[in-house]
Chain A
Amino acid sequence: MKTMMKLISGAALAMALGAGAAHAQVLFWSTQAKPVEETQKMRDQVLSGFEGGVDYQPQDDGPWLTRVQAELQAGSGTIGVLGALHGSLSSLAADLVDLSDVDLGGAKVNEAYRELATLDTGEQKYLPWMQATYIMAANKKALEFLPEGTDLDTITYDQLTAWSKNLAEKTGSPKFGFPGGPDGLKHRFFQGFLVPSYTKSMVTKFRSAEAEAGWNKFKELWQYTNPNSTNYAFMQQPLLTEEVWVAFDHVARLADAFNQKPDDFVAFPAPAGPAGRGFMPVVAGVAIPKTAPDMDKAKALVAYMLKPETQIATLRATNFFPVVEVTLPDDMPNSVKLSAPAVAAMTGAEDALPALLPIGLGDLGGKFNQVYTDTYERIVLGGQDVRAVLDEQADVLRGLLEQAKAPCWAPDAPSQGACPVE
């Protein structure tokens, strides 16, 4: 009996200590760096230097938001710092603490992103944390099939289609790959790349004749696309197994391929259409919810995330690029060495047409993405009539924007009231 009592009290003590230790750490609730290896690197290499400890917990967007909302509704919480993409944070604007008084110790933050992070409230609702975008990657074996006169740095959708056709016909099977699986970032391709490249718009000209032309071009490209594309999530895997030779994806989702076989691959900008080289910059931010248990410590963690050393460590861990001025050391991973020039060529191209992630949609962001995914599934996979599908989906899109009362964002011209769908 005595030993039993000892055991129980010992266990209770251990639990109390454990709970105490966990409580002192700042809970970093994030939608980024979700893959296990990245999470581990975030914990071991990026956050281990923060005094006081961090409990880094990445989650899918849905459960992430559910817990944040639950804590906000309850009026008290355990989350210290939030990490998420611009779009997710913008839906929480009213419940985020103003971060303009955070001492960044001389780190020079990208001004455009800093402005974006005010969410038009005049307060610093979040601080930019890291950035990325999407590029193209190709196996060097594919280069001999490039149509004549094609320069990878200025490639167009027509040339990409001709190239993919060449590849499919001359190698016997389709070699272009596309992240069209349930966890693939296909919607970003349509929102930020295909549609803007043909219409100079993401929303307003959704059902225009130009958009129709763009979808038809993609349908043509799809004939030379590996049909397994509807299962791909991260293009680095099929690139490494050589199931596909040419692919489009997020830089972070191509990194493994570049790192493991740097000599096999080239990186190049996303293609251009008649209206320009549409591309989507991705900005993630760190924010503090009103319900954070220890405000000072949370702010210290935010400042820590923006230190140049932390930013470089974050780049190594996640393949997301810094948002503060840093000099990159020479020993960066191959993925960075390969993708950095492609990103620079794309963002600095004469016909560059940045298309921002949706702004002001709040929790309708998922449905906004679904409009583009549905359009793709119906037109490309279902073979339905392009005109009819665009008309129907445009109605859904209009309904969403009116419900959210979201004004237009780049590349669409600013609007009074909800962004119109013509």
Chain B
Amino acid sequence: MTRSKALPYLLLAPATLFLCVFFLYPFVLVAHEAVTRDGAYTFANFRTMAEHWKFPATFWNTMLLAIVVVPLQLVLALTMASIVSRVESGRGAILYIFAIPLGISDLAAGLIWLAIFEQSGFLNTWLVGLGVADQPVMFLGYQSKLSIFVAVVLAEVWRATAIMMVILVAGMGLIPKEYGEAAEVFGASAWKRFTRVTLPLLRPSLQTAIILRVILAFEVFAVVAALGGTNLPVLMGETYHWQFALQDRNVAAAYAMLILAISIGFTLFFLYALRVPKEARP
């Protein structure tokens, strides 16, 4: 009897140990570095970070990207998940096609979109070939921050919508068909069934999907690096830059802590905003 009680904990032990050694311990070290400088405790690293002339742009670029990308992805992922759950035949095929971008690393995704938007890229070749433009348009030049931003949004949406979709498809599969059928009997339209039945029952999956995506959105790095270089600074890119180009791990650690704080903040917010009320829990 005692053995079966201990079993779950024993099974969890390797994962816990792994997390402690490879996540918690380095995390404590990084946190320590963020608040020390030459051995003394200080907030100087955070001050250096915040006072750098690039910091405001960096911060708002990251925020804006998350604010634009995540809702867009949510709508798309819901649509895609609904399509996948609705179709009878070829469901697997559609699911796999939708999920293809998931199998591609984010840097590769950035490079794919770079090949499209570059001055000598696909898009420009078409535009010039079709006679829409006289000569190649510079989409990713330093003067066109907006088009860099749009390119990054497109690449991110293309690359990371599928992860939300997969979670939502699983969630939709868990909703008993009876609810929808009952609503249909009472004459609810398809839209009404979606907003009144599917969405509320999908809440736990939505929560997971959104939290996961928001955290990843604040860690956006490779796609931006490929498409925008230093023209569109984001928090993660600056962290890398301080660590490796400027050789200042303390300020880099401060950046890492800032990203962590933002992620935790948003996670808590969505945990609260999308919580399932106690009385509604099964």
Of the stretches B19-27, B66-74, B133-141, the one at the interface is B133-141
B179: Cβ under 8 A from any A Cβ: no
Contact indicator A181/B229 (Cβ below 8 Å): yes
The 6 closest A-B pairs by CB, nearest first: A62-B244, A227-B141, A230-B142, A363-B247, A182-B229, A366-B246
Q: B244 — nearest CB in chain A belongs to which residue?
A: A62
Residues in A322-375 with C-beta less than 8 Å from chain B: 363-367, 369-370, 374
Specify which of B119, B231, B245 is in contact with A243 (CB 8 Å cutoff): B119
Interface centre among B54, B225, B229 (most CB of A within 10 A): B229
Q: How far is the CA of A378 from the CA of B230 in the complex (A)?
A: 13
Q: For A367, what are the chain B residues with a Cβ–Cβ distance below 8 Å?
A: 246-248
When distances are taken between beta carbons in the complex, the residues of chain B under 8 Å from A173 are 135
Could you tell me the distance between the alpha carbons of A377 and B54 in the complex, rounded to whole angstroms? 10
Binary interface profile of B, 236-253, with partner A (CB < 8 Å = 1, else 0)?
A: 000000011111100000
Residues from chain B with a CB closer than 8 A to the CB of A369 are: 245
Is A231 interfacial (CB-CB < 8 Å)?
yes
CB of B50 to closest CB in A, whole Å: 15
Residues of B within 8 A of A65 (CB): 247
| A370 contact set on B, CB distance < 8 A | 245-246
B53 close to A (CB within 8 Å):
yes
In the complex, B143 has a CB within 8 A of chain A: yes
Q: Is A228 a contact partner of B244 (Cβ separation < 8 A)?
A: no
A381–chain B nearest beta-carbon distance, Å: 5
The answer to whether A60 and B230 touch (CB under 8 A), given A227-B142, A230-B142, is: no
Question: Chain B 198-232, CB within 8 Å of chain A: the 1/0 string?
Answer: 00000000000000000000000000010001110
Report whether over half of chain B's contact residues are helix, strand or loop; otherwise say mixed. Answer: loop
Chain A residues whose CB sits within 8 angstroms of the CB of B119 once the complex forms: 228, 243
Measured between beta carbons, the chain A residues less than 8 angstroms from B247 are 62, 65, 363-367
Contacts of A243 in B (CB 8 A): 119-120
Which residues from A are CB-within-8-Å of B141? 227-228, 230-231
- The chain A residue sitting closest to B243, CB to CB, is A62
The residue that A231 contacts in the complex, of B54, B135, B229, with Cβ under 8 A, is B229
How close is B147's CB to chain A, nearest CB, in angstroms? 12
CA distance A367 to B53 in the complex (A): 14
A366 touching B245 in the complex, CB below 8 Å, given contacts A227-B141, A227-B143, A228-B138: yes
Question: Which B residue's beta carbon lies closest to that of A66?
Answer: B244
Pairs A–B under 8 Å by Cβ, sample size 11: A62-B244, A63-B244, A65-B247, A227-B143, A228-B140, A230-B142, A230-B229, A231-B141, A363-B247, A366-B247, A369-B245
Interface size class of B (residues with CB under 8 A): 20 to 34
Which bucket holds chain A's interface residue count? 20 to 34
Hey, which chain B residues are within 8 Å of A44, CB to CB? none
Contacts of B245 in A (CB 8 A): 61-62, 366, 369-370
Interface status of A241 (Cβ within 8 A of chain B): yes
Are B142 and A241 neighbours in the complex by a CB distance under 8 Å?
A: no
Nearest-neighbour CB distance to chain A for B153, whole angstroms, equals 19
Considering the chains assembled together, what is the distance between the CA atoms of A364 and B138 in angstroms?
Answer: 35
- CB contacts under 8 Å to A, within B139-156, are 140-143
Q: Which of A224-254 contact B (CB under 8 A)?
A: 227-228, 230-231, 241, 243
Q: A62-B243, A65-B247, A370-B245 are in contact. Are A182 and B225 (CB under 8 A)?
A: yes
A40 CA to B260 CA in the complex, in Å?
Answer: 40
Chain A: CB-nearest residue to B230: A182
Q: CA of A305 to CA of B84 in the docked complex: distance in angstroms?
A: 62
CB of A227 within 8 A of CB of B229, answer no
**Complex formed: what's the CA distance from A369 to B244 in Å?**
13
Alpha-carbon distance between A228 and B135 when the two chains are bound, in angstroms: 14
Kindly report which residue of chain B lies nearest to residue A65, judged by CB atoms: B247
Query: A374 → chain B, closest Cβ, in Å?
Result: 7
Q: Are B142 and A381 in contact (CB under 8 A)?
A: yes
For A237, give the chain B residue with the smallest CB separation.
B120
- Most chain A beta carbons < 10 A, residue from B120, B135, B142, B248: B142
Closest-by-CB residue of B relative to A393 is B53
Interface string of A39-73 (1 = CB under 8 A from B): 00000000000000000000011110100000000
Least Cβ distance of A405 to chain B in Å? Answer: 15
Complex CA–CA separation, A381 to B246 (angstroms): 21
8 Å CB contact of A377 from B143, B225, B230, B248: B230
Q: A62-B247, A228-B138 are in contact. List 7 more A-B contacts (CB 8 A).
A: A63-B244, A173-B135, A228-B141, A230-B230, A366-B244, A367-B247, A378-B53
Looking across the interface, which residue of chain B has its beta carbon closest to that of A184?
B229
Interface residues as binary, A196-230 with B (CB distance below 8 Å gives 1, 0 otherwise): 00000000000000000000000000000001101
Is B138's CB under 8 angstroms from A227's CB? yes
Please report the C-alpha to C-alpha distance between residue A378 and residue B247 in the assembled complex, in whole angstroms.
22
The complex places the Cα of A60 from the Cα of B246 at a distance, in Å, of: 13
Nearest-CB residue, chain B, relative to A180: B142
Q: Which positions 96-153 of chain B face chain A at CB distance < 8 Å?
A: 119-120, 135, 138, 140-143
Asked if B231 and A230 sit within 8 Å, CB to CB, the answer is yes
In the assembled complex, the Cα of A173 lies from the Cα of B138 at a distance in Å of: 12
Q: How far is the CB of B220 from chain A (nearest CB, A)?
A: 16
Contacts of A61 in B (CB 8 A): 244-245
Residue among A62, A172, A173 facing the most chain B CB atoms (10 A cut-off): A62
Among A60, A231, A365, A381, the residue within 8 A (CB) of B140 is: A231
In the complex, what distance in Å separates the CA atom of A367 from the CA atom of B245? 7
In the bound complex, CA of A243 to CA of B135 (Å): 11
Give B231's nearest chain A residue, CB to CB: A230
Q: Which of B54, B120, B225, B247 has the most CB of A within 10 A?
A: B247
B15 → chain A, closest Cβ, in Å? 27
**Residue of A181, A230, A363, A374 with most partner-chain B CB within 10 A:** A230
Task: Please provide the chain B residues from 48 to 64 with a CB less than 8 Å away from any CB of chain A in the complex.
Answer: 53-54
Q: How far is the CB of A122 from chain B (nearest CB, A)?
A: 27
Cα–Cα, bound, A286→B143 (Å): 42
